[in-house]
Amino acid sequence: MIWKPSKRSLITALAALPLAAALPRAARAEIEVNVNRGDVQPLPIAIPAFAGTQGADIAGVISANLQRSGLFRPLDPASFLDHDLNVSVQPNFASWKQINAQALVVGQAAVANGSLQAGFHLYDVFAEKELDFQGGGGLQLNASPENWRRIAHKISDAIYERLTGEKGYFDTRVVFVAESGGRGARVKRLAIMDQDGANPSYLTDGASTVMTPRFSSNSQEITFMTLRPEGSTIWLLNLDTTRRESLGDFQGQVFAPRFSPDGTKVAFSVARGGNSDIFVMDLRNRQTARLTSDPAIDTSPSFSPNGSQIVFNSDRSGTPEIYVMGADGSNPRRISFGQGKYTTPVWSPTGEFIAFTKQTGGEFHIGVMKPDGTDERLLTSSYLDEGPTWAPNGRVIMFSREGAAGGPKLWTIDVTGRVLQPVPYPGAGTDPAWSPLLN
């Protein structure tokens, strides 16, 4: 273990930040940005550099987050006309209307008593009014100065939620398998980074092949597997303590681990005599139950958000398809019926969709369907897309994409299939797993 956990003590006081100047009430019709249509226009938003310590860096991280969501279009700071901003004073709306900014973020940051404090106000430019957060006015956050990026992510989440009505997903991390070396000589290391690719660090040294890390709901524990000639092992790793323990010996080859939503269980596959079945271990008493006993391949279990059902992959019909069963293994039923091979089903955190990898002809796709198998939609297509993982708000999916040449890279696609973007991490990566929102 070569990774040391960084102090994650973010003082999460979302204090109301009162604005000194009284603002005039809105006196115009409401702007409506409707993303129901396929031709949705991202919302133009101005995010000038915050005043004070690392103010430009903080604004830059917020802009990049909102831009990557596909729902916002941060305006080029070079186009700004008003350079005399003050968080205590009402902005000059006319100068922001002139560049067609519909929303405006005005903030400042300062270090006091060893703590970085950042506050901001959010304005509806054309309505000429402030958009209040809970408690009225803007928001203020405190953290140790080295956690300035987390402050920027939390501000991004607050803006996203205030303007969309949906929880944000920016104050999150991604655990994945970092790859180096070419095909046939790959070194695979467990790695973790912020969702925007910043602060990457390795959790293992590459001596053994690691695969399929998954987050627990507490964001501080992951499960993953290692593969050696002598067999495979499923591990539980605590990110705070770096303590690592094996799930145990199951008289077969174990793989495909995934936590239950409450973190008390791990579902996984065991291959014995060539046959793979799904098991679940209760981590509290180490009792293991067998959930499938079909002679076909049964793997890639993923719990529904309320823990009552499991979606999994099976070829019991002759081709790899997606099935749903009770969390006790009861009543398995097939939900995928389209052309092609379906694998890697993953239930969305909202319960709304199941993401999957689909292979049709020579192409691989990331797709989604409803848990009853209806409304299947393919979101991506390439030589090799695989391994979807959901952002905690169920709006964005991260996956790995590999061409016939070059190493695998991490990408995101939003659930509408409109916004496809590479994750800004420079290295090769596969098997991403998105954390829940951090505390």
Q: Which is nearer to other proteins, 192 or 210 (CB)?
A: 210
Scanning residues 112 to 141, which ones bind other proteins (CB under 8 A)? 124, 126-127, 129, 131, 133-134
- Asked if residue 386 binds other proteins (CB under 8 A), the reply is yes
Stretch that binds other proteins, among 17-25, 50-58, 193-201, 271-279 (CB under 8 A): 271-279
Choice from 149, 154, 395, 409 touching other proteins (CB under 8 A): 395
403 with 418: CB under 8 angstroms?
Answer: no
Residue 226 in contact with other proteins, rule: CB under 8 A: no
Binding status of residue 399 toward other proteins by CB under 8 A? no
3-state secondary structure of 95: helix
Tell me which stretch binds other proteins (CB under 8 A): 53-61, 87-95, 107-115, 274-282: 274-282
Place of tokens 């903030």: 107
Residue 112 C-beta: closest distance to other proteins, Å:
25
**Encoded tokens for 172:** 């999150």
Q: Is 185 in the site for other proteins (CB under 8 A)?
A: yes
Q: CA-CA distances (angstroms) from residue 301 to 153, 244, 314, 333, 345?
A: 31, 22, 10, 14, 8
CB of 106 to other proteins, least distance (A): 15
- With binding defined as CB under 8 A, does residue 389 bind other proteins? no
When the beta carbons of 133 and 347 are compared against other proteins, the nearer one is: 133
In this chain, which of 15, 40, 51, 198 binds other proteins, going by CB under 8 A?
A: 40
CA distance 92 to 84: 9
Residues 54 and 74: their CA atoms lie apart, in Å, by 19
Under the criterion CB under 8 A, does residue 339 sit at the interface with other proteins? no
Among 78, 83, 84, 229, contact with other proteins (rule: CB under 8 A): 229
* 207 touches other proteins by CB under 8 A: no
Kindly identify the residues of this chain, within the stretch 71-90, that bind other proteins according to CB under 8 A.
71
Is 209 near other proteins (CB under 8 A)? yes
Contact 303, 261 (CB under 8 A): yes
182 binds other proteins (CB under 8 A): yes
- DSSP structure string for 199-245: S-EESS-SSSEEEEEEE-TTSSEEEEEEEETTEEEEEEEETTT--EE
Return all residues near 292 (Cβ < 8 A) that are at least 6 apart. 277, 278, 298, 312, 314, 325, 329, 332
Q: Which of 387, 392, 429, 432 binds other proteins (CB under 8 A)?
A: 387
Using CB under 8 A as the binding rule, whether residue 144 contacts other proteins is answered as no
**Up-side HSE of residue 352: CA atoms within 13 Å toward CB?**
10
Q: Helices 55-69 and 148-164 sit at what angle, rounded to 10 degrees? A: 40
Q: Which is nearer to other proteins, 8 or 162 (CB)?
A: 162
- In angstroms, rounded to a whole number, what is the distance separating the alpha carbons of residues 194 and 151? 13
Does 236 participate in binding other proteins (rule CB under 8 A)?
A: no
CA distance 176 to 431: 5
Residue 208 burial (CB count, 10 A):
15
Of 53 and 209, which CB lies nearer to other proteins in the complex structure? Answer: 209
Q: Out of 292, 299, 309, 412, which residue is the one contacting other proteins (CB under 8 A)? A: 299
Total residues in contact with other proteins, by rule CB under 8 A: 88
Q: Least CB distance from residue 226 to other proteins, whole Å?
A: 11
| Candidate segments 57-65, 146-154, 158-166, 243-251, binder of other proteins by CB under 8 A | 158-166
Handedness of CA 148, 261, 433, 361 (dihedral sign): negative
Residue 285 CB, shortest distance to other proteins, in Å, is 26
